[in-house]
Chain A
Amino acid sequence: MHRQSTTRSNGIDRRSVLAAGVAGLATATSGCIDRVESAVGQETDRLSLSITTVPADGDREAVRIARHLEEHLEAVGIDASLDMRSRSNFLEAVLIDHEFDLYVGRHPADYDPDFLYETLHSAYANESGWQNPLGFSSMPVDGHLEAQRRVDGERRRERIATLLEGLAEEKPFDPICFPEEHRVVRTDRVDGWNADHPESRHGYLGLEPSEDVDRLRVLVTDARISRNLNPLSATLREQGSTIDLLYDSLATEHDGELVPWLAEDWETTTIEETEIEETEDDDAITRATVTLREDCRFHDDEPVTADDVAFTYRFLEDTALGRAEFTSPAPRYRSHVSTLEDVTVESDRELRLEFSAGYEAAERALTVPVLPEHRWREQVDARAENTETFTAMQGQWGLVTMDNVPAVGSGPFRFESRSEREHLTLERYDDHFTRREDVDLPSVEIERLQFGIDPGSASSIERVANDGADLTASMLEAHALDTIPDEPEIDYLESPSQTFYHVGFNARIEPFSNPHARRLVAGLLDKAWLVEEVFDGHATPTATPLPEEWVPERLTWDGDDPITPFFGSDGDLDVEAARDAFEDTGYRYDDHGRLRL
């Protein structure tokens, strides 16, 4: 097995470095010389790129991918550097400010492929938030993204296959791998694990605490949940279950399917396939009638009504509720509600919804958190009155960035207390429908969830082993997995992940406004090697952002990326081949082997 050695120029095929000439070697090994020269102003047109990522404290695997990429960019004559940001600053740079050349990160994805619409549709290129942070725009891809929403079943699968092929060619971002999610739990205080993903609503249902156990001690590595509970915040959360526990949605995903949650039931009717062709863009394709469960209440004892649901949809489309000069769509859930064309409140518990999409894509709208109208409308009013010219800057204004503590939802747990950087404690909401006899869902038995912040995977595992905690809720980092002790009361949960590591390119600026540049850089990543070396094999390399079941034959992983294979093997870059490819694409090298812009 090839091991990564410690000098910077290693990991690059020595022979090919020599072949690429002494000048190339000089570039690959010494950043200082470039700096000096550029300071004198002689090399202003050299291509230089900054890779934005989080430090090892935030995501050790991401840093290692970033360094792998940095080393290979340097080897092909690009002045590459790392730009390290804390988790929230990283998301701010990428999602809000769009200040990056390329970044390495993990995308939260979603249970349904339609999250790609949000991530890539050109209509969102100028918005801040999770909607199209890459500034990507492509007519064909827009077409594929739209087409897949309008149909269901086998036809949708075909259209998604076409979409994936388009993405593999254009590479708005390069997916690297799906990590395995690992967690450890203690089984001596609380039992009933294993049934469901621990980071979902169902994960905390049906747990069986021993008699004297009043709280579940959960560890998370990310301190942001102790600072902010705003369901709309783009930068303070990419995944995790706290919002799902505090807020209800109409339906919730369980084992890949949507099941009733706050809605007792819903019925959808979708028009015939043949008729779909004749519809206009915003004509209704799917109609749904949703009935809420009886007598549900928010944590402040106000009833949850169909009006709250309708308000939530309107609010996500425009968080300023029409009071600002421009609409201000939420920096989250953007595509969830974009197929929704009409909402009619029939009664306190009944709504009719019309979607310009097939039921598969349409039903994502049922998974957004239902917000209490009385609280959020009040917030908008207060902010609109206090300012003379109310602007509500999209994705960044006070309402979508405020900490929202205490959060008031209608979910199975309610806010109890928090201490910044230390813990967030939720208590069971006894009026929640999951506690009712006649609801066909496992009940919440545990009285309290105490999310303690523990910054390290290794120290989290140690605390569970020492009976200082019951569960590590954050996904454990691959490097720490071999420290999990083999003891009878410690159990080990493993699940596949829908999240994927990827390199994102900023298509707004040079050089990544050009798809060829994106493809060339994708060829510098040895995904198979990264999975072996960085993830110790605890990940699945991929050429697509969707799991296997959606992937067409042509894009299946065959030991290397089928469209943009790595220039080299076993993590060693074939510098000559890579440089040739850059030259073939029209890039030029100067006398020192440096890539010119």
Chain B
Amino acid sequence: MYAEVLTRVLTQVAVVVGILLLTSIALFVGRGRLVTTAREWRSRLQATAPAVAVLAAVLGLNRVVRWRGDEIEGAIGFHMTETFYDLEGEFVLLFQSIATEELTAYFSFIYVYGYAFLLIFPGIAYFALSDTRTFRRLLTAYSLNYVLGLAFYLLVIAYGPRNVMPEELTVTMLYDNSPEYQHLTREVNRNTNVFPSLHTSLAATVGVFAYITRSSYPYWFPVAAVLAASVAVSTMYLGIHWAIDVVAGLVLAGVCVRLSGVLVGRQPVARFRRYLDRRPTPRDDRE
């Protein structure tokens, strides 16, 4: 019966995000790029396979550690809820003063659907570019976000504003207004994982990439910027994160984007090809 609710919410998210993705592909990517991608997808896939594999591994690790994290946390973590609360006080309640029903609906939508869309779409958009470097950089930046974020989650045990100031946040609190999402977020996270805000850092990462690639996707940049900013605000508006988590998320995003530039080379295809040529029977060619 637990799975039923989860399946229902997941299906709903999949359908909505699917529609958003199809529309955006038509609007931003365009026919020309799709045709080229259809022709070159094999070589692009080969070129980007390592980055994809790393991300998959990181996501797997992330899942295991978050589920089993309480034991590790118990051993090495620091309780920081009070520190955050002392530092910023009731700053996030600022958003309560502008709260309306429409805004709550908007930010709830952004937090769940907008965020999922924001992370997936650049993957498609950058895969559709002939130069695979942006795509590889993006995936690497995602991986870094998760790895570094996870390390902080194990070190810092803190509850978000909704757990500390429930009464002031009842108007906008996500799970009071839309209880079904609790099943979704509970599946991917624990309530002591608030520092830094991975919602913010991943959304900001996408925002920075949208800026870098604005010559390829001029119309995506403003859309991504608005969405990324909305995701960051939504985490505070809905009472899930402290402002400190959001700031840390922004810093993490900056670090990850920078590191991805250092780690990801410009010409992997050529190198990868040469590497394949040296091997007598490249495994990837078997079919």
Identify the A interface with B (CB < 8 A): 4, 6-8, 31-32, 35, 50, 55-57, 60, 63-64, 67, 81-86, 89, 217, 422-423, 450, 452-456, 458-459, 462-463, 468-469, 479-480, 534
Among A6, A7, A32, A469, point to the contact of B1 (Cβ < 8 A): A469
Shortest distance between the CB of A408 and any CB in chain B (Å): 26
Are A8 and B89 touching (Cβ within 8 A)? yes
A455-B90 Cα distance, complex, nearest whole Å: 25
**Does B24 make an interface contact (CB < 8 A)?**
no
Task: From B32-40, B124-132, B133-141, B161-169, give the one contacting chain A.
Answer: B161-169
* With A55-B159, A82-B81, A456-B182 as contacts: A31 and B86 at CB distance below 8 Å: yes
Task: From B42-50, B54-62, B172-180, give the one contacting chain A.
Answer: B172-180
19 extra A-B contacts, CB within 8 A, seeds A50-B82, A459-B175: A6-B93, A8-B89, A31-B89, A57-B159, A63-B164, A64-B167, A83-B82, A84-B82, A89-B74, A422-B3, A455-B182, A456-B176, A458-B175, A458-B176, A458-B179, A459-B180, A468-B4, A468-B5, A479-B166
Among A83, A450, A455, point to the contact of B79 (Cβ < 8 A): A83
Are A63 and B166 touching (Cβ within 8 A)? yes
Return 20 A-B CB contacts under 8 Å, by A number.
A6-B93, A31-B86, A55-B159, A55-B164, A56-B162, A57-B163, A57-B191, A63-B164, A81-B86, A82-B82, A86-B192, A217-B1, A454-B2, A455-B182, A456-B175, A456-B179, A458-B175, A458-B179, A459-B175, A479-B176
A86-B183 Cα distance, complex, nearest whole Å: 18
Are A459 and B182 touching (Cβ within 8 A)? yes
Smallest CB gap from A458: residue in B: B179
Are A82 and B164 touching (Cβ within 8 A)? yes
**Does B96 make an interface contact (CB < 8 A)?**
yes
Shortest distance between the CB of B191 and any CB in chain A (Å): 5
Shortest distance between the CB of A33 and any CB in chain B (Å): 11
**Residues on the B chain within 8 Å of A4, using CB:** 167
Are A67 and B175 touching (Cβ within 8 A)? no
**Residues on the B chain within 8 Å of A463, using CB:** 1, 5
**Residues on the A chain within 8 Å of B5, using CB:** 463, 468
**Residues on the A chain within 8 Å of B183, using CB:** 459
Are A82 and B166 touching (Cβ within 8 A)? no
Q: Mark B63-105, 1 if CB is under 8 A from A, else 0.
A: 0000000100010000101100111011001001000000000
Shortest distance between the CB of A30 and any CB in chain B (Å): 9
Name the 10 nearest CB pairs between A and B, nearest first. Answer: A459-B179, A55-B163, A56-B166, A55-B159, A56-B163, A81-B82, A458-B179, A60-B166, A31-B86, A84-B81
Q: How many residues of B contact A (CB 8 A)?
A: 35
**Residues on the B chain within 8 Å of A31, using CB:** 86, 89
Are B90 and A7 touching (Cβ within 8 A)? yes
**Does B186 make an interface contact (CB < 8 A)?**
yes
Are B2 and A422 touching (Cβ within 8 A)? yes
* With A64-B167, A84-B159 as contacts: A453 and B82 at CB distance below 8 Å: no
Shortest distance between the CB of A472 and any CB in chain B (Å): 12
Shortest distance between the CB of B80 and any CB in chain A (Å): 10
**Does B216 make an interface contact (CB < 8 A)?**
no
Shortest distance between the CB of B197 and any CB in chain A (Å): 17
Are A455 and B186 touching (Cβ within 8 A)? yes
A366-B105 Cα distance, complex, nearest whole Å: 55
Shortest distance between the CB of A219 and any CB in chain B (Å): 9
Smallest CB gap from A217: residue in B: B1
A469-B87 Cα distance, complex, nearest whole Å: 42
**Residues on the B chain within 8 Å of A217, using CB:** 1
Shortest distance between the CB of A571 and any CB in chain B (Å): 12
A454-B166 Cα distance, complex, nearest whole Å: 18
A6-B179 Cα distance, complex, nearest whole Å: 24
A85-B159 Cα distance, complex, nearest whole Å: 9
**Residues on the B chain within 8 Å of A82, using CB:** 81-82, 85, 164
**Residues on the B chain within 8 Å of A455, using CB:** 182, 186
**Residues on the A chain within 8 Å of B175, using CB:** 456, 458-459
Smallest CB gap from B89: residue in A: A8
Shortest distance between the CB of A121 and any CB in chain B (Å): 31
**Residues on the A chain within 8 Å of B164, using CB:** 55-56, 63, 67, 82, 84
Shortest distance between the CB of B60 and any CB in chain A (Å): 19
**Residues on the B chain within 8 Å of A456, using CB:** 175-176, 179, 182
**Residues on the A chain within 8 Å of B180, using CB:** 459, 462
**Residues on the A chain within 8 Å of B167, using CB:** 4, 64, 534
A453-B182 Cα distance, complex, nearest whole Å: 12
**Residues on the A chain within 8 Å of B168, using CB:** 6
**Residues on the A chain within 8 Å of B93, using CB:** 6
**Residues on the A chain within 8 Å of B179, using CB:** 456, 458-459, 462
Among A35, A56, A85, A422, point to the contact of B86 (Cβ < 8 A): A35
**Residues on the A chain within 8 Å of B1, using CB:** 217, 423, 450, 452, 463, 468-469
A35-B83 Cα distance, complex, nearest whole Å: 10
**Residues on the B chain within 8 Å of A35, using CB:** 86
Shortest distance between the CB of B232 and any CB in chain A (Å): 22
Smallest CB gap from B88: residue in A: A32
Task: Please indicate which of the listed interface residues A56, A64, A81, A479 has the most CB atoms of chain B within 10 Å of its own CB.
Answer: A56
**Residues on the A chain within 8 Å of B3, using CB:** 422
Shortest distance between the CB of A452 and any CB in chain B (Å): 5
A557-B1 Cα distance, complex, nearest whole Å: 45
A565-B179 Cα distance, complex, nearest whole Å: 39
**Residues on the B chain within 8 Å of A64, using CB:** 166-167
**Residues on the B chain within 8 Å of A7, using CB:** 90
